[in-house]
Structure 1
């Protein structure tokens, strides 16, 4: 009966060793899940800001600067901490307006740098005649 007891004594501390190896992996997995949820949220913020900027920039007497200002206001209201260092590009022509909002996502996992962006585009509003000519 003595060899049986000796075998049990050799396994002491095995659970502690396994926990030391498994817990950091589980914590990293949880942090990665949170990080990708933050990226998902940042994408929605960027898309919302791009859509609001498009709505402001595409009206008849608006300018690209009006779209940029609206995007900055939307980002300040929603994503100033989530979407860091955002850039807003508004391309407005006589026929088409495009807005792109991009930025870096706040890091939950140290050393992991991810980016999010949103794009919106649509026709620029203009007044035309019934024959299709422009006024």
Structure 2
């Protein structure tokens, strides 16, 4: 049994100066993984934000196109106006399409989210919204 303050037999041959540089090696191994995780979180956030912008524009466009005596073209124009105000570079190369059959209208917004990863041209996003067209009806008696 060893007395307090004296190293055990297991550590008697150990020289603490042999451990110099261990922290540097550990950081060289761990730091790229931490940096990669941070970039992945930021990239996912940028994708999610661009997706929300596209969805908001599609919803606003569908609301405008559904209005009484409106048209799908009015919905597409409203979606483009929303994108012009909110995209701000987060959603690039966007396109808007709207279609309707007299009963329902659908507005689709597509674009590309920005990318932080070199060589990745961006993530393609497509969001759509649809709903019934408002129309005048006479209540049944």
TM-score greater than 0.5 by the shorter chain: yes
User: What corresponds to 1:27 in structure 2?
Assistant: 35
Query: CA shift at 1:9, angstroms?
Result: 3.8
Quick check: 1:4 aligned with 2:14?
Answer: yes
Matched, 1:40 2:48: yes
Shift of 1:76: 1.3
Partner of residue 115 from structure 1, selected from 105, 113, 124:
124
The count of corresponding residues between Structure 1 and Structure 2 is 129
| CA deviation vs aligned residue, 1:91-135 (integer Å, no higher than 9, x gap) | 12211101111211111233343233322111112234446xxxx
Gaps of 5+ in 1: none
Length-normalised TM-score, structure 1: 0.81
Q: Which residue of 2 aligns with 1:78?
A: 86
Provide the rounded CA distance (Å) in 2 between the counterparts of 1:4 and 1:123.
Answer: 79
User: What secondary structure sits across from 1:109 in the alignment?
Assistant: coil
> Aligned-pair RMSD on alpha carbons?
2.2
Larger radius of gyration: 2
TM-score (norm 2): 0.78
